Amino acid sequence: MTIFIPLLFICINSNCEFMQSTGYFQAEQQCLTDLDLQKQRMRDLVKQAGQGQIEMLEGTCVDLDISIVNNKRVQHGKSN
């Protein structure tokens, strides 16, 4: 089974951070849609706070293959 985890990279006032969602999706398109919503939410929050400017806002969906073995999830390494 493959899961997709949204991951954002944002720079505000030269301070850059990775932000990982606590949830995951089983379909890549759902992940991409959620990523677009998260990006818009960040734009709105920064605008509302009026404390800086977004210099970079990028996102991707990280895919991870997992299997269930003896009632435990097992991660399979994957490099792109």
The pLDDT confidence band at residue 79, using thresholds 50, 70 and 90, is very low
Looking at residue 73, what is its pLDDT? 63
3-state SS of the chain is CEEEEEEEEEEECCEEEEEECCCCECCHHHHHHHHHHHHHHHHHHHHHHCCCCEEEEEEEEEEEEEEEECCEEEEECCCC
Segments forming the whole domain that contains residue 46: 2-76
State the total domains in the chain. 1
Looking at residue 41, what is its pLDDT? 93
The pLDDT confidence band at residue 4, using thresholds 50, 70 and 90, is very high
pLDDT tens figures, 52-78: 899 999 999 999 998 877 777 666 655
Looking at residue 3, what is its pLDDT? 94
